[in-house]
Amino acid sequence: MTSSPSSGPNSPDLTQPLTIGNAVNVGFRLYGAKLKPYLRLAAMSTLWVLLPIILAIALGVFYISTQRYLTTLGLVIPAWIVLMAFCSARAYALSAAIARLGYAELTQQPETVDTAYRFTRARQWRFLVASVLLFGLGILVTLGFYLVAAIVVALVFAFVGGTEFLLNPQSAALVNPGLLILAFLVFLGVIGLLIWVLTWFSIRFAIPEVPLAVEPGLTATQSLGRSWELTDKNVGRIFLILLVTWIATIPLQLVIQLVLGLAQEAIARFYPETSPLYSVLTVGSSFLISLLLGIFPLPLWQSIKAVVYYDLRRRREGMGLQLSNPPLDESEFGSADLQDSDPSA
Amino acid sequence: MRFLNRVNLNTPESVELEFSLAGIGNRALALLIDYHIVALSLVAFSLLWVFLSTRLMAYLSQLGGNYSALPPWLLALFVLGTFVIYAGYFVGFEVYWQGQTPGKRVAKIRVIRDDGRPIGLTQAGLRSLLRPIDDFFFMGALFILFGKREKRIGDWVAGTLVVQENRSRTKPAMTPSDRAQKLGDWLPTQSNLENLHPDDVAVIREYLGRRPDMTRKARHDLSLQLARQVRSRIQLEELPAGLNSDEFLEAVYWAVRRGSDGVTE
C-alpha cells in the first residue's frame, strides 16, 4: 500500500465545490504545508499588535513613577492613538497576507511571501477601515436588537399583568403561573434569537479581508459588500465549517491551556499570592502568553477563510467554469444576438 | 500542492484501488453528528430508566415484602444500557451500514479494511472499544492529524482506514424548456456538435447544475460568456431570434446528451 499523488476515480477533485469536511481538510493542509512562512507572518502581525500595548505600559509606568511632565500627555495620547492605528493596520495587512497566500495556492498561482505582503501592505489602511466599519456595524446590530427585544419583553411583561404587579405587589398571587412560564419562555427565546442574529451577522461579514487581499481595486466598504454577497445562502455551511475547525483544534487549545497553567504556576512559585505583584504579574503574563500563543491558530483561521472565500467564489460566481481552450475567433460568432438570460426566470 | 491525502490499496484479488482519506475535517464532522445522536439517546434512556425504576419500586412497595436488593440491580441495568448505547451505536451501524454511521453518511466517509474490503464485527468492535482511549485528551485527533494514513489507535489495532465515498457529480435537473428542446433537436443539423470536447460538455453541465446557487450578476456574465464560446466552438452561424444564453446552453447540453444516448434519429 502506498500513498499516491495521482488522481483516481475515488478522489474528489477540487473542480467540485468543497464539502464541509473537505473545506476543513484543505484549510489544515494549507496550514501544515506552509507552516513556517505563515507562522512568521502571524508572529510579525502579533508583534505589531503588541507594540502599542507595551509602549502604553512603559508610558504609564513613566508618568506614574515620575509624577511629572503630565502636561505632555495632551500630545502623547494623540500620538499614541495614531501609532496604534498604524500598528493595527500593519497587523491586519500581515494576517491578510496569509489569506492571500492561501488563496493563491488554491488557485494554483502560488506567490512569494514578499509579493503577497507587498500587495496587502499597500492596502493596509483599507483593512483598518474595514474592521472599524465592521465594529461599528456590530454595535449597531446589537443595539438595534436590544431595542427590539426590550420592546417585546416590555409588551409581554404588560401582557402577563406585570404593570398591575408593580402597582400592587400583593396581586402576585393572582397571576396565572402559566403566563409566567410563557414569559420565561419568551425571555429564553429572545436570548436564543440574539445569539442566532449575532452569529448570522458575523458569518455574513466573516471574510471581507480576503477579497480585500485578493481583488485589486476594492475599497473597504466594497469588501464588506463582497463578504455579504458571497456568503448569502451559505451561512449554515460556513457555520459548520468554522465549528468543525474549532472542534479539530481542541487538542491544540489544550496545549495552550497547559502552557498558560504552567506559567501561572511558575509565577506563584516566585511571587506568593499575597505579594502585591502577584495579580499584576498573573494577569499581565497570561494576557501576553495568550497573545503570543495566538500566533499558532491565526494562520489556520486565515487559511480556512481563504478556503471559504475560494469555495464561495466557485459556488456563487462559477469561478473556474470555462471551456478548455477558449477559441481565438470568438469575435466572428460572438455577435450580440444572444440575449442575456434572466436569472430570476 | 495535493490538498487531500490519497492511498492505493491492493485487494486480495490484486486489484488496485485508490481512495482519498477522510481527513480531520470529515471525521470531526461525522463525530460531531454521531456524538449528538448518542448523547440524545443517552438522555432519553436515562429518563426512561428513572421513570420505569420509580414506577417499579412504587408498585413493589404496594405489594409488600423486602425488595431492598433491587436498586443495585437497576443501577447495573442502567450502566449496562449506557454502555450498550455508546458502544453498540458505532458497532451496530458500522457493521450493518458497511462501515458507516449516520454521521459518516452525512460526511460521505466510510470505514474499510486495510485491503479495501468492508469491515466486519471484529473491526467495528475493536474500533469501538478503543474509542474511549482515542478520546482521552484527544489522542485520536492527534494521530489523525499527524499520521500519514490518518489512523487513530482504534484504526491501527483493527486494521482499518477511513476513506471518502465516491461523490456523484452534480446533475442538472434537466427539464429544458420547450424552446430549448426544439432548438436541441435542430442543433445537430446546423452545427458541429462533435467539436465540443467532453470536458466542455462537463463544464456546461456543471454550469446548468450549479446556476441556481450563483449570484445574479455572475450567472448573467458566465452564461453569456459560455454561450458565446460554445456557439463559436460548434460553428453555429444562424440563431433563432430572441434566444437567451441559458436556453442556448440547455439546448446544447440536451442535444449532446441525446446524441450520446443514441436516441437521435
Residues 222-261 of A with CB under 8 A from B: 229-230, 232-233, 240, 243-245, 247-248, 250-251, 254
A160 touches chain B (CB under 8 A): no
Residue A333 has pLDDT above 50, yes or no: no
Residues 11-40 of A with CB under 8 A from B: 11-12, 14-17, 19-30, 33
Residues B203-223 have pLDDT tens digits of 888 888 888 889 999 999 999
Instruction: Say if the Cβ atoms of B170 and A4 lie within 8 Å.
Output: no
Residue B2 has pLDDT above 50, yes or no: yes
What span, in angstroms and rounded, lies between the C-alpha atoms of A230 and A312? 6
Q: Which three cell numbers stand for residue A260?
A: 498558560
Which residues of A fall within a CB distance of 8 Å from B34? none
Instruction: Say if the Cβ atoms of B213 and A315 lie within 8 Å.
Output: yes
Q: CA dihedral defined by A113, A114, A115, A120, rounded to 10 degrees?
A: 90
Q: Quick one: which of A245, A207, A212, A251 has its CA closest to A228?
A: A207
Q: Taking the alpha carbons of A304, A306, A312, A315 in that order, is the dihedral positive or negative?
A: negative
For residues B239 and A14, the model is more confident at B239
B137: nearest CA partner in chain A: A251
A241: nearest CA partner in chain B: B25
Residues A177-226 have pLDDT tens digits of 777 787 788 888 888 988 998 999 999 999 999 999 999 989 999 999 99
Mean residue pLDDT of chain B comes to 86
Residues A220-250 have pLDDT tens digits of 999 999 999 999 999 999 999 999 999 988 8
Instruction: Please report the pLDDT score of residue A330 as a whole number.
Output: 47
Task: Write the CB contacts of B43 (distance below 8 Å, at least 6 apart in sequence).
Answer: none
B201: nearest CA partner in chain A: A323
Instruction: Say if the Cβ atoms of A338 and B10 lie within 8 Å.
Output: no
Q: What confidence category does residue A334 fall into, taking pLDDT thresholds of 50, 70 and 90? A: very low
Residues B52-65 have pLDDT tens digits of 999 998 898 888 77
Grid cell 398571587 — which residue?
Answer: A173
Least confident of A196-210, A262-276, A309-323: A262-276
For residues A14 and B123, the model is more confident at B123
Q: Could you say which DSSP state residue A171 is in?
A: G
Residue B154, exposed/middle/buried by CB under 10 A (0-12, 13-18, 19+)? buried
Which residues of B fall within a CB distance of 8 Å from A229? 215
Instruction: Say if the Cβ atoms of A20 and B29 lie within 8 Å.
Output: yes
Residues 126-145 of A with CB under 8 A from B: none
Whether residue B81 contacts residue B45, with contact meaning beta carbons closer than 8 Å, is answered with yes
Residue A328 has pLDDT above 60, yes or no: no
Task: Calculate how close chain A gets to B11, using CA atoms only, in Å.
Answer: 10
SS3 B111: strand
Least confident of A25-29, A46-50, B7-11, B80-84: B7-11
Which residues of B fall within a CB distance of 8 Å from A107? none
Whether residue A120 contacts residue A103, with contact meaning beta carbons closer than 8 Å, is answered with no
B231 touches chain A (CB under 8 A): yes
Instruction: Please report the pLDDT score of residue B43 as a whole number.
Output: 97
Residue A85 has pLDDT above 60, yes or no: yes
Residues 165-184 of B with CB under 8 A from A: 166-167, 169-170
Instruction: Please report the pLDDT score of residue B177 as a whole number.
Output: 75
For residues A269 and A236, the model is more confident at A236
Q: Residue A338 is nearest to which of B215, B219, B228, comparing CB atoms?
A: B228
B219 touches chain A (CB under 8 A): yes
Whether residue A226 contacts residue B217, with contact meaning beta carbons closer than 8 Å, is answered with no
Residue B35 has pLDDT above 90, yes or no: yes
Q: What confidence category does residue B191 fall into, taking pLDDT thresholds of 50, 70 and 90? A: confident
B228 touches chain A (CB under 8 A): yes
Q: What confidence category does residue A28 fall into, taking pLDDT thresholds of 50, 70 and 90? A: very high
Q: What confidence category does residue A327 fall into, taking pLDDT thresholds of 50, 70 and 90? A: low
Q: Rounded to 5 degrees, what are φ and ψ at A241?
A: -60, -45
Instruction: Please report the pLDDT score of residue A162 as a whole number.
Output: 67
SS3 A205: coil
B237 touches chain A (CB under 8 A): yes
Q: Could you say which DSSP state residue A169 is in?
A: G
Instruction: Please report the pLDDT score of residue B70 as a whole number.
Output: 86
Q: What confidence category does residue A9 fall into, taking pLDDT thresholds of 50, 70 and 90? A: very low
Residue A145 has pLDDT above 80, yes or no: yes
Residues A149-179 have pLDDT tens digits of 888 878 877 776 666 666 666 666 666 677 7
Residue A268 has pLDDT above 90, yes or no: no
Residue type, B53: S
Which residues of B fall within a CB distance of 8 Å from A235? none
Instruction: Please report the pLDDT score of residue A252 as a whole number.
Output: 78
Highest mean pLDDT among A67-76, B30-39, B164-173, B190-199: B30-39
One-character DSSP codes across A272-329: -TTSTHHHHHHHHHHHHHHHHHTTTHHHHHHHHHHHHHHHHHHHHH-TT---SS--TT
What's the average model confidence in pLDDT over A253-267? 80
Degrees (nearest 5) of the Cα angle A289, B24, A117?
55
| Domain residue spans of chain A | 20-318
Residue type, A229: E
Q: Rounded to 5 degrees, what are φ and ψ at B149?
A: -105, 15
B136 touches chain A (CB under 8 A): no
Q: Which three cell numbers stand for residue A287?
A: 494576557
Instruction: Say if the Cβ atoms of A4 and B7 lie within 8 Å.
Output: yes
Instruction: Say if the Cβ atoms of A341 and B25 lie within 8 Å.
Output: no
Instruction: Say if the Cβ atoms of A316 and B226 lie within 8 Å.
Output: no
Residues 11-50 of B with CB under 8 A from A: 17-20, 22-32
What's the average model confidence in pLDDT over A45-70? 88
Instruction: Please report the pLDDT score of residue B168 as a whole number.
Output: 61
Instruction: Please report the pLDDT score of residue B147 as a whole number.
Output: 86
What span, in angstroms and rounded, lies between the C-alpha atoms of A236 and A217? 30
Mean residue pLDDT of chain A comes to 83
Task: Calculate how close chain B gets to A3, using CA atoms only, in Å.
Answer: 4
Residue B234 has pLDDT above 60, yes or no: yes
Task: Calculate how close chain A gets to B189, using CA atoms only, in Å.
Answer: 18
Task: Write the CB contacts of A208 (distance below 8 Å, at least 6 apart in sequence).
Answer: A130, A134, A220, A223, A224, A226, A227
Share of chain B above pLDDT 90, in %: 44
Instruction: Please report the pLDDT score of residue B245 as a whole number.
Output: 87
Share of chain A above pLDDT 70, in %: 83
Rounded to a whole number of angstroms, the CA Rg of chain A reads: 27
Task: Write the CB contacts of B166 (distance below 8 Å, at least 6 apart in sequence).
Answer: A9, A10
Q: Quick one: which of A247, A29, A308, A33 has its CA closest to B20?
A: A29
Instruction: Please report the pLDDT score of residue A7 as a whole number.
Output: 38
Which residues of A fall within a CB distance of 8 Å from B159? none
A321: nearest CA partner in chain B: B203
Residue A59 has pLDDT above 80, yes or no: yes
Q: What confidence category does residue B265 fall into, taking pLDDT thresholds of 50, 70 and 90? A: very low
Which residue spans within chain B are E strands per DSSP?
6-10, 16-20, 109-113, 160-164
Instruction: Say if the Cβ atoms of A10 and B20 lie within 8 Å.
Output: yes
Instruction: Please report the pLDDT score of residue B189 as a whole number.
Output: 76
Residues B62-121 have pLDDT tens digits of 887 778 888 889 999 999 999 999 999 999 999 999 999 999 999 999 999 998 899 999
Whether residue B223 contacts residue B249, with contact meaning beta carbons closer than 8 Å, is answered with yes
What's the average model confidence in pLDDT over A62-73? 83
Q: At what angle do helices B245-261 and B216-233 cross, to 10 degrees?
A: 50
Instruction: Say if the Cβ atoms of B200 and A28 lie within 8 Å.
Output: no
What span, in angstroms and rounded, lies between the C-alpha atoms of B155 and B94? 13
Give the pTM: 0.86
What span, in angstroms and rounded, lies between the C-alpha atoms of A270 and A8? 60
